[in-house]
Amino acid sequence: MSNVTVVMAQIDPVVGDLAGNTDKMLAAAEAALAQLQADVVVFPEMALTGYPPEDILLRPGLYPQVQQQLERLCAARLPLAMVVGYPMEDALGERFNMAAWIEHGEFAASYIKQHLPNYGPFDEKRYFSPGSQPTVVDYKGIRFGLLICEDVWKPTAVEKVAAAGAEVILNLNASPFHAEKHGDRLRVASRRIDEFGVPIIYVNQVGGQDELVFDGGSFAMDAAGQVQVQAPEFRPALVPVTLQHGPNGVQILAGQLSPLLDGEARLYEALVLGTRDFIEKNGLPGVVLGLSGGIDSALTLAIAVDALGAERVEAVMMPFRYTSQESINLATRQAEMLDVAYEILPIEAGFEGMTQVLAPRLPEIEGVTEENLQARLRGVTLMAISNASGKLVLSTSNKSESAVGYSTLYGDMVGGFAPLKDVLKTQVYALARYRNGLSPAIPEGVITRPPSAELRPDQKDEDSLPPYEILDRIIQGYVVEQKTPAELIAKNIDAKMVERAINLINSNEYKRRQAPPGIRVSPRSFGRDRRYPITSRYREPI
């Protein structure tokens, strides 16, 4: 019996662009036929609408358009089978997350997703009803079982499709990135193969969508749990998987093994892709940010340049009386290193103006009022440039600061997108070092100086906050891993620091609700992964 070629079409669908996504699928299928002699081409979950389409799924106008595009896929009558993810609404108004098997232009079979994820960033029970039946398609002598993403994360759907005779599973995914996700996927797939003995071809989408980054990384795992084919991460790809009938069922032949990234390299790529796609898919001309000579704005600038190219990035240093010459020098040096448009715009005159405006009500502007006024004048300045140029303001906030509210509402929290939103301060340093290892992008002095908001004389972050090494352990433990205060203290973290940090985390939810969106890179980000009340008296014993 001859071999059968399944092409993993790791594409980058754009949410809501049904016609564009269909064009992409037709182009990918044609290329898979012409270049790879594909028999089957598998697209990601919900490739027709992009994922997650959120409340677009509740628009009645969506479903006729889905039908139209499915008809286009059939009308192309390509001589292969296409497996396509799409949403469907039935006559009773129930909606389903589906996969279509389109064989030589005929809509030959379909499958309804059985396990609907409703945790973390997922909301599928808001939209869909689950299916209950397996789908197995006999094609070119092989029995293909269809499953959709979460279906392989639990045993039931895999058990059913194996019992229905599937010899290989085609798993359509929209599986967003976090730093440990690829390892989780491999473990889950290998466990299911262990339990039910059916190899899995796992096809993921790639690209940024608002707060989510899809990393691709599609793979084919054989009946022994070995990855025989590995697609690259963070870019679209068409990767062939060769199937052969052997004495022990279907074999997956060894194929392309794209190298995988890890650690900071993987995290950095996710941040660059998430930033680029947010700007590109929203049709924005470029970005502008406040460059302070500190590490957060320095790393954000490097990411922006890697994402968009220096010519689309602008940096502004806005000194005030507390800004050190070293900060100005470091900001200027980085702007030169990266060759971005750069301006020094002092905010002193703005501060004087505000002093006069406020004089009848506030004769003295001091303390936190003075600190925040500086941050807000910088925000106003950046927004003026944004309005005049159309460039989006990048917020430089990181996860450690937003955890404890160490930022100013309508000040340094302005912006349309926050690349570092889910990155802890200790990771910011590691990423800066990693990035400089590729080529010089951040002056060494920015990395080695102690962090300071420079909003009052000699201010250092660690005067107000626990040292970042400790704060980040608390955030990681309390927010990401859901540990109790007692568990944190048992890990040798000072009880007073634990108590203070947890109080700050919980009392600053109000600020986070007003923060710009940013890229999710951890298993639990602030935002949809962690929905906390602003008004709350809940406490846990210390």
Ligand X SMILES: Nc1ncnc2c1ncn2[C@@H]1O[C@H](COP(=O)(O)OP(=O)(O)OP(=O)(O)O)[C@@H](O)[C@H]1O
Backbone angles phi, psi at 231, to 5 degrees: -85, 160
129 assigned ligand-binding residue: no
Nearer to ligand GLN, 174 or 418 (CB): 174
- Identify the three-state secondary structure at position 342: strand
Which listed residue (195, 349, 534, 540) binds ligand DND by CB under 6 A?
A: 534
The CB-based long-range contact list for 308-311 (8 Å cut-off, 24+ gap) reads 308/275, 308/276, 308/279, 310/338, 310/339, 310/340, 311/286
409 belongs to the binding site for ligand DND (CB under 6 A): yes
Euclidean distance between CA atoms 463 and 471, whole angstroms = 13
Nearer to ligand X, 409 or 489 (CB): 409
Which listed residue (47, 340, 441, 453) binds ligand X by CB under 6 A?
A: 453
Euclidean distance between CA atoms 429 and 419, whole angstroms = 15
Euclidean distance between CA atoms 536 and 542, whole angstroms = 17
Element (H, E) at 336: helix 325-338
Which listed residue (73, 291, 303, 414) binds ligand X by CB under 6 A?
A: 291
Instruction: Give me the catalytic one of 103, 149, 391, 425.
Output: 149
Binding to ligand X by CB under 6 A, coded x per residue (else -) over 319-358, reads x---x-----------------------------------
% helix, strand, coil for the chain, step of 5: 40, 20, 40
Binds 409: which of ligand X, ligand DND, ligand GLN, none (CB < 5-8 Å by kind) = ligand DND
- Distance from CA of residue 13 to its chain's centroid? 14
Binding to ligand DND by CB under 6 A, coded x per residue (else -) over 488-527, reads ----------------------x-----------------
421 assigned ligand-binding residue: no
Nearer to ligand X, 25 or 382 (CB): 382
Residue number with the smallest Cβ distance to ligand X: 294
- Asked whether the CA dihedral 204, 206, 210, 211 is positive or negative, the reply is positive
- Identify the three-state secondary structure at position 353: helix
358 belongs to the binding site for ligand DND (CB under 6 A): no
Residues in touch with ligand GLN (CB under 6 A): 45, 117, 122, 149-150, 153, 174-176
- Could you tell me which residues come within 8 angstroms of residue 376 by beta carbon, excluding any fewer than 6 positions away? 408, 410, 411
Binds 289: which of ligand X, ligand DND, ligand GLN, none (CB < 5-8 Å by kind) = ligand X
157 with 197: CB under 8 angstroms? no
402 assigned ligand-binding residue: no
Which listed residue (13, 44, 52, 290) binds ligand X by CB under 6 A?
A: 290
Tracing tokens 């002598």 back to the chain, one arrives at 141
518 belongs to the binding site for ligand X (CB under 6 A): no
Instruction: Give me the catalytic one of 24, 45, 314, 425.
Output: 45
167 belongs to the binding site for ligand DND (CB under 6 A): no
Instruction: Give me the catalytic one of 74, 89, 103, 113.
Output: 113
Give the interface segment with ligand X, choosing from 82-90, 229-237, 285-293, 354-362 (CB under 6 A).
Answer: 285-293
437-496 residues in contact with ligand DND (CB under 6 A) are 453, 455, 461
What is each CA distance from 520 to 48, 105, 285, 423, 463, in whole angstroms?
Answer: 23, 39, 23, 8, 29
426 belongs to the binding site for ligand X (CB under 6 A): no
Burial group, residue 448, by CB count within 10 angstroms (0-12, 13-18, 19+): exposed
Backbone angles phi, psi at 258, to 5 degrees: -70, 140
Count CB atoms within 10 A of the CB of residue 154: 14
74 is catalytic: no
Residues of this chain that interact with ligand X (CB under 6 A) are 289-292, 294-297, 316-319, 323, 378, 396, 401, 412, 451, 453-454
Give the residue ranges of the annotated binding site for deamido-NAD(+).
Answer: 372, 401, 511
Among all residues, which ones are annotated catalytic?
45, 113, 149
Interface positions with ligand DND (CB under 6 A): 368, 371-372, 375, 401, 405-409, 411-412, 453, 455, 461, 510, 534
